[in-house]
Structure 1
Amino acid sequence: MVAMARRKRMNPEIFAYASMLLLSREDVRVLKIRDAYSLHKVVYGLFEDRRSKEEKSLVSSGILYADKGGDIHFRKLLILSDRRPHQTPQFGKIETRPVFSSFLNCDHYLFEVIVNPSKRDNHSGKIMPVIGRENIRQWFLDRAGDSWGLSVSPDSLEVVNAGVQKFEKQNGQFITHGSATLKGEFHVVDRERFVKSFKNGIGRGKAFGFGLLQIVPVLTK
């Protein structure tokens, strides 16, 4: 029993994997990365899809990512996944580290997230975008507790970017998403919801770079 307990302490539980994919300017050119859909194909190409055709609309891919932009040398993509990506991709460089369950045991975090702010219209049933920085900010605050298990500090919450994501899929369908980047601080008020939010992402459009909670624990004395 003691030996088993020691092995458990020495081998902490891996909750997920965090990866940084670096694409050079030449990689971006060869891969023809021009929009969110081309980025989606590059990220998802790093993983084996374990879902059947029937499951794809029902079961999570286990993949979240955020486009971190870049400089003259690299385009950076942060990826959170429930399995390791290919460590020798055809293009780019990738670094992967485990995320241990203990990372989610803190009570207070700084965060950044790119979201697709939207809500369902009660009369038409259609998904409508939330427009305007103050409206986006309030939309996030309204959902943080009940949906995601977070108590967000209103004074800390900032909408640092708001715009529109547009792209054309292979079938010729044009897709438009509202896009906003928010930063701030939160306390965990529902651990189970918080863990689920970190693992599965928040909001809509997660297949196209939305919803990944990028968090840093704040340790208090």
Structure 2
Amino acid sequence: MGCCFLGTRCAETGGGLMSWLTRFDLDHETALAERINDSYAWHKKLWEAFPDVPDANRDFLTRIDATAEGFRIYILSQKEPIKPLWCPENAWAIKRISEAFFSNKYFRFDIKANPTKCIPFGNEDEKFKKRGKRYAIVKTDEQKAWIERKAEQNGFRLLEDYPLQIEQVQPSHFHKEDHSGFHIGARFLGVLSVIDKEKFIVAFQTGIGSAKAFGFGMMMLQPVNL
């Protein structure tokens, strides 16, 4: 599913502007020339779409999908991005998303997320536990339970009549200064029903789960009539 770009009611000009959704394609040769070789390199490079706010807190989401020719990149932001010089002119597509987009109750969704759980330190008898280490959730049944919890927390529920698909994605490696690591992701596809519109809009704007600065958490949505 291609997110809102395939939806017939994605870009609404009325009802109050909320977000900008940008999509562009980048070939392998350009990525290599720009030294974009891991998720942290993408993290830094996509900041160039917001040149006037280099020190601001990151308020946009990204998603990078591999294609046969290179990469397809999505950016969801509260500020209109500027096309970086290294992005091909004819590859840049942008749409506005207003509150009117969320008048629909049902959406197909496609979320590439980083499901994790935090294991606290200390024993069960302690009243307060220190923040523990975060571990990736890799079992499919636990990933299903994770997305169901996230749905409940963020104002929507998964429709059981439309089976949830869970696909494992390649680990996303990064090298940052003096250390390296990777994030393990899963792709969730299905149909949802909005229960709490305000919470749902916040989740759309801020993402689901962790590692959002590394290309995870964006909710790709397409309205459907059921």
TM-score range, shorter chain: 0.7 to 0.9
The size of the alignment, in residue pairs, is 202
1:211 aligns to what?
217
Q: CA RMSD in A?
A: 2.1
Q: 2:60 aligns with which of 60, 63, 84?
A: 63
Question: Is 1:157 aligned with 2:164?
Answer: yes
1:23 aligns to what?
26
Contact map agreement 1:24 1:92 (CA 8 A) in 2: no
2:96 aligns to what?
98
1:122 aligns to what?
120
Q: 2:17 aligns with which of 10, 14, 18?
A: 14
- The answer for unaligned runs of 5 or more in structure 1 is 1-8
Q: Give the TM-score of the pair, scaled to structure 2.
A: 0.82
1:76 aligns to what?
72
Contact map agreement 1:20 1:78 (CA 8 A) in 2: yes
Which deviates more from structure 2 when the two are superposed, residues 24-33 or residues 196-205?
24-33
2:185 aligns to what?
179
CA displacement, residues 161-202 of structure 1 (integer Å, 9 cap, x when unaligned): 244222111x12212222111101110111111000000111
Q: State how far apart, in whole Å, the 2-side matches of 1:201 and 1:101 are.
A: 17
SS in 2 for 1:113: strand
The alpha-carbon deviation at position 62 of structure 1 amounts to: 1.7
Determine which structure has greater relative contact order: mean sequence separation of CA pairs < 8 Å that are 6+ residues apart, divided by chain length: 2
Q: Give the TM-score of the pair, scaled to structure 1.
A: 0.83
2:204 aligns to what?
198
Q: State how far apart, in whole Å, the 2-side matches of 1:14 and 1:28 are.
A: 32
SS in 2 for 1:215: strand
1:46 aligns to what?
49
SS in 1 for 2:80: coil
SS in 1 for 2:198: helix
Q: Residue 183 and residue 148 in structure 1: after superposition, are their counterparts in 2 closer, same or farther (change >3 A)?
A: same
Q: Percent identity over the alignment?
A: 23
Q: State how far apart, in whole Å, the 1-side matches of 2:43 and 2:214 are.
A: 6
Q: 2:175 aligns with which of 168, 175, 196?
A: 168
1:132 aligned partner, one-letter code: K
Contact map agreement 1:17 1:97 (CA 8 A) in 2: yes
Q: Residue 19 and residue 204 in structure 1: after superposition, are their counterparts in 2 closer, same or farther (change >3 A)?
A: same
1:216 aligned partner, one-letter code: Q
